[in-house]
Chains A and B, each alone.
Chain A
Amino acid sequence: MPIAELRAVNKSFITAGGHELKVLEQIDLAVHEGELLALLGQSGSGKSTILRCLTGLIEPTSGRVLHKGETLHGINEDASVVFQTFALYPWLTVEQNVAVGLMAHQVSRAERDTAVDRAIELIGLGNYHAAYPRELSGGMRQRVGIARALVSQPRLLCLDEAFSALDVLTAENLRQELISLWRSPDTGLSSIFMVTHSISEAVEMATRIVVLFPRPGRLGLVLENSLPYPRDEKSPEFQRLVSLIHECITTTTLPDIPAEAPIAGQPISRARNRMESIPLVPVGQILGLLSILHDSPELSNIYDISDEIGKEFGETIALVKAAEILGLVETPKQEVLFTELGKRFVAADRETRHAIFAEQVFKLRLFHIIIALLEEYEEVDSARVIKDIGSALPYDNPEKTFQTMIAWGRYAGLMDFNAKTGMVFLPKNEDAAEDAS
């Protein structure tokens, strides 16, 4: 029987602008005894929301949360959470912070002290009992967070991006220690559920990997990972798993079938009539990507590009996708190649670039929400535009999409925005476009 389970869970939030945003759709996910389950997804895909539903920190909009086969009310008592931001209390010493993990348990003071000491020793904080969190380094702080989570001997440990605020070396060290803690029989720890955006981290640690696709969050690939510990990142098996996940994400995000080409003999699908959302990336980064591709013609594999620009794979994908919908690159399989237009774009001077960019942005249906309004009125209230974006793209955060659109539109010289009045307007002349860039 699973320790914790989600059945047909949906979750919606109200955004800051009052728009209802669906973040999770029909999630079925179970954490079984003895497994180390990694949930992999880009930022904003709803993976932290899944963790919070599973532990009972938030309630799903619909669907059931189960704990040992029964509906969960309140917080899952078998679970404890390690937070990305550590969530330590700065006014408590290391010892007192760890003791917080036992507050809900009816234990004598002596028992409590023994348990706290044990947890602190276990995680290698032996000499830091009386230190305050602000005296510790990031890695040490997260150790306190882990000790606090382990002190009550939970069956299930949940890690919410627990390593992403740490530097590379510290994170690697902590990952290894956590794996050995989970594998050692005397901690009482049965399962770990971790949420991460790092593919290699998931492959390095997990026995099962679930990939979450965004907007709205829904489960994609599920992979069993039976590689023996300790896992070697250089081993071909490890690499195979990593590229399997890469491929899965790439084909879903950058499908090879061109979006506009009708397939003979088939009715035009409803999906094609939907507006396509835009990746929330700044113009400067798209230009940066193009110029790197231009400077290194041998660089075409998307994973190599991701390594080269030093970004998370999810972010790289978003950038490539942005360049693709602008028609500047194409992505057959896992290659990223310039289109004819893209070649012209990188070789052009600044004015021509603006013109090409404007032309391409103009082709995007989403932008016609604003462009159509601007043809009619001199100024348009941003609140109205955001509302329209919200109804056109029900799974995107309309405020964030609006900001990205304004950034792209400014570079293209198609629109400008006055933050003081909250009005979108047509730039007066060509100079405005120059300034905006």
Chain B
Amino acid sequence: MSALSSEFAWLALVVAGFLPSEAWRWLGVIFARGLDEDSEIVLWVRAVATAILAGVIAKLTIFAPGVLATVPTPVRLAAVAIGFAAFMTIRRSVLAGVLAGEAALIAGALIFGK
């Protein structure tokens, strides 16, 4: 390994990777105790989960990680919009939306990228 020592990387995987993500799932097991599938609380919690997920989607598009940031922001936003349009027009197909969005991103990066 280059910059990282092997021991530190493994320690970090457990302490900074596994525990901070798995702990939310364990908390979920505790909080879900005694909740009914059709209860109002579960309906609200699902709305919160959906809104967080939407936040993740928007943040990954606008504040893009790694090399994705080299594709101009308007291209990324337009690609999501084109994917959405394809999803709506082609029988609400996830595959169609993903393929159209990806194709638009690649085309846009080739045309407008540096």
A binds B: no
